[in-house]
A and B are shown apart, each in its own frame.
Chain A
Amino acid sequence: MPAHDVLIIGAGLAGQRAALAAASEGATVGVLSKVHPVRSHSVAAAGGINAALNPEDSWESHAYDTVKGSDFLGDQDAIEIMCREAPNELLHLEHIGVTFARNDSGHLGTRAFGGASAARTYYVADITGQAILHVLYEQLMKHHEQLDRYEEWFVTTLLRGDDGECVGCVARDIRHGNLEIFRAKNVILASGGAGQCFKPTTNALICTGDGIAQAYQIGAPLMDMEMIQYNPTTLAENGFLITEGARGEGAHLYNAAGERFMEKYAPNKLELASRDVVSRAEQTEINEGRGFPDGTIALDITKVPRKRVLEALREIVNIGRDFAGVDITREPIHIRPGCHYIMGGVKTDVDGRTPIEGLYAAGEVACVSVHGGNRLGANSLLDTLIFGRRSGEHAAHRARSIPLPEIPDSVLDDEQRKLDALVRRERTGRRVSEIREELGTTMNKYVAVFREDEGLNTALEVVKRLQEEAKTAYIDDQGKVFNQDVLAAIEMEYMLDCAECIVVAAEHRKESRGAQFRTDFPERNDAEWLKHIDLTRNGAGPKISYSEVTITKWQPEERKY
């Protein structure tokens, strides 16, 4: 049975960064991922990464923008750390080989991004996430002697020791179908978000909230789960993302009447207001009949010089051409708000620690909370790297003072029995794929840009029914090798846990803040709701409690763009 000082689950940016940090601190590290690391969804992050690196910029400005973007729900101590450490992290990436775009003098170049008061987004064309992810993987290959990679392994459960601490996990080797216990002094969850709870979504098929649900199932609290970001520019049919970089480069939004409607909603920042603001503006235009007949808005990138588009926005030129049949350098493309990111997740402190000893979380799976009610564009890559690194370092230090845990083999038998039962289910229930489809469309209908009590209650009823149905849902594949069917069934349970928490928290927060807009409570209510909603598993459903928002420098104020 493999044993490590630090076991990292997930190998996107947060996971790989954590692995490299832990290894450089001398820990023995295992990185386990259900897909090959370069397939992780960080690869799709297009626009860039924020850092106040220019001398005329300041981390305080970056932090204030982030706090304001979060609608004052972000914890300011964590935001300060992230923004202070951003420049060095960026330089580290540059030094290990990320091919960041330069300006005329050969220094790092920047582009503008939403909700930011300075152009502080560093980028590689519009493949920033891909470039960073691949470079980190280069480093993983370089340091292969300190880092064991378990590529295409799927975690079925986290394990807790006698004192309640996290001691490892059980995982299935997807390629061969066997289960294995992974012993670890520390486990870092870095397995990404839960966008697949919604349909359509910009998120990859693998973003099924595994880590959020695994932590929840062993008793770790989740926080800010109601905060689901709808990105303003996604393709109507399939939810594919058009990067905010397009607006950063100068693209405009128009309604069907040809009005640049953002002048009305955000007279100063226009298209570069924060994402919740732009998405709400678009949805309002659409709901009030000023959108196009297919329920969309036009994004006009022809404003940006063609040469520049082909150099800096190559990927969305391809996406427009291949998935919407539009040459974005010649004509506008039709978009609408679409599910994109979950600000909430496993509650952690600034070192990635969850309240469960030995269990860490970093990246989209976690909620530090630096994003609060709404994440700024290009802050997600930063979040993954800063808190990935901090978790890795902290876990490596913690490993020095404790022994490797012992885990009885019987654990494996229990898990195996569960899986066998799942595979052998009678074909009387529903197909897993049907449940997934119904969950996605339900969430996208009732838990989207605008929410209200009745819809949320309907959504909760559906989720609870689907949870019951999932218990008897059957699968086709009985084999061991690459049985994706059985994994899909487990992922379904993970998604339903996440969805339940999202809906419960959204129903509970009776105000409008950031991404949460309640048409029945349209105002922000600092007196009652300037607090995080924490959810802890309690029997069948989540138990609700609250935690304070940390405020250091910036008192809540009215939010205008």
Chain B
Amino acid sequence: MPEYTLRLRRYDPESGEAAYWEDHTVELEGHRSVLEGILKVKADEDGSIGIRCSCRAAICGSCGVRINGKPGLACHTHLEAAAKHGAGTGWNPPDEGQATPIIEVEPMGNMPVVKDLIVDMDAVHWKKVRRVTPWLINKEPIPEREYIVPHENMVDVTQTMACIQCGACVSDCLSMEVDPGFIGPAALAKAYRFVGDPRDAQQKERLVDLSEDPHGIYDCTHCFNCIDACPKGVAPMSQIMRLRRVASADYEIEDRNNGYRHEHAFVDNIRKNGLLHEADLLPDSYGGKFHPRAAPELISSLPVITKALVRRKVTPTGALLHKHRKEYKGLREYFDTIEKHEKRYELNLYISGYEDDAEGAETAPEVGVAGSSGQPSAPGADPHKSDPSEGGGV
């Protein structure tokens, strides 16, 4: 059986000592998880290693850690896979005399460490969740039976329901590192769960709140870290972008953070120039060069602009005489394709893009009956009479 060295970040708050690394070697099959490795060390060698864990199957969200610097669930990462990116691999030089692959495990970032691999989620993550009014505010009147809502809406918000609150996205949120007040990816994904829910009565109020908050939806910098980090495919950043699209396109909420205008300036800038004309973007975001709002912004940006000039990131000619390339091939087409659709395309975890009627027959030839709507009636081959399509179908 292969051997792995688990290099664990240890911290005992009672010792008065700083955190340190501690190596343990385990013998386990490569397809076992990093959590199993840690639990083996805990069982056989040192019961004092602190790590939260429960389900072992990436459902409960307890064991969020950083493995080789990347956030994720310890139970959801194979030893073999982790070893490929550990110390002594790639550009990471091996330790002297290192025989087995080293897997580094440390607590998640952006949250205070309580002990070893355990962080204080309440101080950061849950506080932020509570910030977004995380419960349904019912549309009145509440029906006697269920709310009648389209299946697609429920599937849509189920993507954010799939969040297990593990904190992996919070751990590596770059915006939160710069602005600890940022509501952050997990909580904002949670916010979308209500904004996208047709049963909620206060979608607009929620969006105004999240747009106007300087730590709200316009505080995200699109770094994609949260999408990478999420073990459940929730894609928090995509949910934040959806909140923005609903806030700006559907509700036209002009926020004081200038998010709305910036987004529009951006689109117009590209439409006009083909390539981004940076020198125009800033003033345009504030209503144009001569808008009273723009002047203070331009002045306050002078140090940055000067620095950029000194470091030759921009040249005065380039900035002022930007080459307009609106004749760029295909540009028009992109705008047309996107803008002519009444409904926005949104990606969803639960919607695969596979069609069952035509192509589905190729992928799964023995499939039973397909419902008239294109939805399969699942146990088509099942002889007993409890066909679920009778009980409301799927």
Question: Which residues of A does B touch, CB under 8 Å?
Answer: 35-36, 38-41, 43-44, 54, 56-57, 91, 94-97, 99-112, 116-120, 124-125, 127, 130-131, 134-135, 138-139, 141-142, 151, 175, 204-206, 238, 240-241, 248-250, 252, 268-270, 272, 302-308, 310-312, 314-315, 318-319, 322-323, 325, 329, 431-434, 437, 475-485, 488
Query: Contact between A248 and B393 (Cβ–Cβ < 8 Å)?
Result: no
Known A38-B61, A99-B157, A477-B48; judge A43-B150 contact (CB<8 A). no
Query: Contact between A141 and B130 (Cβ–Cβ < 8 Å)?
Result: yes
Instruction: Provide the residues of chain B in CB contact with A120, threshold 8 Å.
Output: 391
Query: Contact between B48 and A485 (Cβ–Cβ < 8 Å)?
Result: yes
Query: Contact between A110 and B115 (Cβ–Cβ < 8 Å)?
Result: no
Closest to B375 in A: A104
Rounded to whole Å, the gap between the CB of A316 and the closest CB of chain B is: 10
Assembly CA distance A310 to B384 (angstroms): 25
Instruction: Provide the residues of chain B in CB contact with A118, threshold 8 Å.
Output: 386, 391
Partner of A175, one of B114, B142, B360, B375: B114
Assembly CA distance A106 to B153 (angstroms): 10
Known interface pairs A103-B394, A104-B375, A107-B392; 11 further A-B residue pairs with C-beta atoms within 8 A, sorted by A's residue number:
A39-B52, A54-B392, A94-B146, A141-B135, A240-B57, A241-B57, A306-B364, A431-B43, A433-B43, A482-B115, A482-B118
Assembly CA distance A94 to B57 (angstroms): 27
Instruction: Provide the residues of chain A in CB contact with B50, threshold 8 Å.
Output: 482, 484
Partner of B155, one of A101, A205, A323: A101
Assembly CA distance A335 to B138 (angstroms): 43
Query: Contact between B151 and A307 (Cβ–Cβ < 8 Å)?
Result: no
Closest to B117 in A: A482
Known A57-B391, A482-B114; judge A306-B354 contact (CB<8 A). yes
Query: Contact between A307 and B354 (Cβ–Cβ < 8 Å)?
Result: yes
Assembly CA distance A213 to B47 (angstroms): 24
Query: Contact between B355 and A134 (Cβ–Cβ < 8 Å)?
Result: no
Instruction: Provide the residues of chain B in CB contact with A312, threshold 8 Å.
Output: 378, 394
Assembly CA distance A106 to B152 (angstroms): 9
10 contacts between A and B (CB under 8 A): A99-B161, A107-B392, A119-B388, A205-B54, A248-B388, A304-B367, A304-B376, A318-B58, A325-B31, A484-B47
Query: Contact between B55 and A311 (Cβ–Cβ < 8 Å)?
Result: no
Rounded to whole Å, the gap between the CB of B226 and the closest CB of chain A is: 18
Partner of B14, one of A311, A329, A481: A481
User: Which of B360-393 touch A at CB < 8 Å?
Assistant: 360, 363-364, 366-368, 370, 373, 375-376, 378-384, 386-388, 390-393
Known A35-B62, A119-B386, A308-B394; judge A102-B149 contact (CB<8 A). yes
Question: Which residues of B does A touch, CB under 8 Å?
Answer: 12-14, 31, 42-44, 46-48, 50, 52-62, 76, 114-116, 118, 121-122, 129-130, 134-136, 138, 142, 145-151, 154-155, 157-158, 161-162, 164-165, 193-194, 197, 199, 349-352, 354-356, 360, 363-364, 366-368, 370, 373, 375-376, 378-384, 386-388, 390-394
Interface centre among A100, A102, A302 (most CB of B within 10 A): A102
Assembly CA distance A318 to B349 (angstroms): 12
Partner of B161, one of A134, A241, A250, A485: A134
Known A97-B136, A107-B392, A130-B164; judge A480-B14 contact (CB<8 A). yes
Query: Contact between A305 and B364 (Cβ–Cβ < 8 Å)?
Result: yes
Assembly CA distance A423 to B172 (angstroms): 37
Assembly CA distance A272 to B24 (angstroms): 46
Rounded to whole Å, the gap between the CB of B186 and the closest CB of chain A is: 12
Query: Contact between A142 and B388 (Cβ–Cβ < 8 Å)?
Result: no
Interface centre among B43, B47, B150, B158 (most CB of A within 10 A): B47
Rounded to whole Å, the gap between the CB of A286 and the closest CB of chain B is: 23
Interface centre among A43, A97, A433, A434 (most CB of B within 10 A): A97
Known A102-B151, A112-B379; judge A238-B356 contact (CB<8 A). no
Assembly CA distance A117 to B199 (angstroms): 32
Partner of B394, one of A109, A204, A238, A437: A109
Assembly CA distance A130 to B60 (angstroms): 8
Instruction: Provide the residues of chain A in CB contact with B394, threshold 8 Å.
Output: 101, 103, 109, 111, 308, 312
Assembly CA distance A352 to B145 (angstroms): 27
Assembly CA distance A110 to B393 (angstroms): 6
Assembly CA distance A128 to B149 (angstroms): 18
Instruction: Provide the residues of chain A in CB contact with B57, threshold 8 Å.
Output: 44, 238, 240-241, 319, 323
Partner of B48, one of A205, A307, A318, A476: A476
Assembly CA distance A302 to B193 (angstroms): 31
Known A433-B47, A481-B114; judge A108-B146 contact (CB<8 A). yes
Query: Contact between A307 and B135 (Cβ–Cβ < 8 Å)?
Result: no
Instruction: Provide the residues of chain B in CB contact with A322, threshold 8 Å.
Output: 58, 76
Assembly CA distance A139 to B47 (angstroms): 36
Query: Contact between B47 and A99 (Cβ–Cβ < 8 Å)?
Result: no
Query: Contact between B381 and A100 (Cβ–Cβ < 8 Å)?
Result: no
Query: Contact between B60 and A104 (Cβ–Cβ < 8 Å)?
Result: no
Known A109-B392, A272-B384, A307-B354; judge A41-B54 contact (CB<8 A). yes
Instruction: Provide the residues of chain A in CB contact with B115, threshold 8 Å.
Output: 479, 481-482
Known A105-B148, A311-B155; judge A38-B393 contact (CB<8 A). no
Query: Contact between B391 and A479 (Cβ–Cβ < 8 Å)?
Result: no
